């Protein structure tokens, strides 16, 4: 099964994504700190899709994305930003770093599932 990792410092946000994706044919791993996810990726984890929050302490979503793009194993891994942020400049920064898409919270469960299905090319 494809591995999808979620990174969000909000445990309630992670709970909501967990509940929405638990019926999907994917393996899900969740992290409340981007640097922990990054450490596991550096240790050999190879996610098929990364969905990250933007505003997080220590390492924010864009810094995380930048670090991912610098690693050979995740330089082209699809990444979605799942955030409350709506600022165009930040979207542009994400786009320049090869971000796949931008989802504004609160997300619609059906749309999140559709986005994952589309990016991973899962059977609809």
Partner 1 sequence: MVILNSVDELLSHIKEVQQDAISLSRESLLMISNFIEKNSLEIDNDVVTALQYQDIISQQLTATIEAINSVQSSLDRFSHSYQTDENLVLESMKKLQDKFGVVLSEAKDKKSRFAGKSVNSDVPSEEIEFF
> Per-residue x/- mask for partner 1, residues 37 to 66, rule CB under 8 A?
------------------x-----------
Q: Are strands 3-7 and 49-52 parallel, antiparallel or unpaired?
A: parallel
Q: Which of 45, 91, 93, 120 binds partner 1 (CB under 8 A)?
A: 91
Taking the alpha carbons at both ends of the chain, their separation in whole angstroms is 15
- Name the strand (E) or helix (H) holding 101: strand 101-104
Specify which residues 52 forms β-bridges with: 7, 81
If the CB atoms of residues 42 and 118 are measured against partner 1, the closer one turns out to be: 118
Token pair of 35 as six digits: 């640097």
Among residues 35, 105, 117, 122, the one that binds partner 1 under rule CB under 8 A: 105
Please name every residue paired with 104 in a beta bridge, in sequence order, or none if there are none: 83
For residue 106, state whether it binds partner 1 (rule: CB under 8 A).
yes
User: Binder to partner 1 among 7, 13, 38, 68 (CB under 8 A)?
Assistant: 13
DSSP-based three-state secondary structure for 5:
strand
Where does this chain bind partner 1 (CB under 8 A)?
Answer: 8, 10-13, 15-16, 18-20, 55, 80, 83-87, 91, 94-95, 99-112, 114-115
């Amino acid at each position: 099964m494809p591995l999808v990792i979620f990174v969000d410092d909000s445990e309630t946000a992670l709970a909501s994504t967990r509940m929405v994706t638990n019926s999907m044919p994917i393996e899900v791993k969740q992290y409340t700190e981007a640097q922990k996810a990054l450490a596991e990726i550096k240790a050999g984890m190879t996610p098929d899709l990364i969905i990250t929050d933007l505003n997080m302490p220590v390492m924010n979503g864009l810094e995380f994305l930048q670090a991912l793009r610098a690693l050979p194993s995740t330089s082209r891994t699809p990444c979605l930003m799942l955030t409350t942020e709506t600022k165009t400049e930040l979207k542009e920064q994400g786009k320049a770093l090869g971000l796949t898409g931008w989802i504004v919270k609160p997300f619609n469960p059906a749309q999140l599932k559709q986005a994952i299905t589309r990016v991973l090319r899962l059977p609809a």
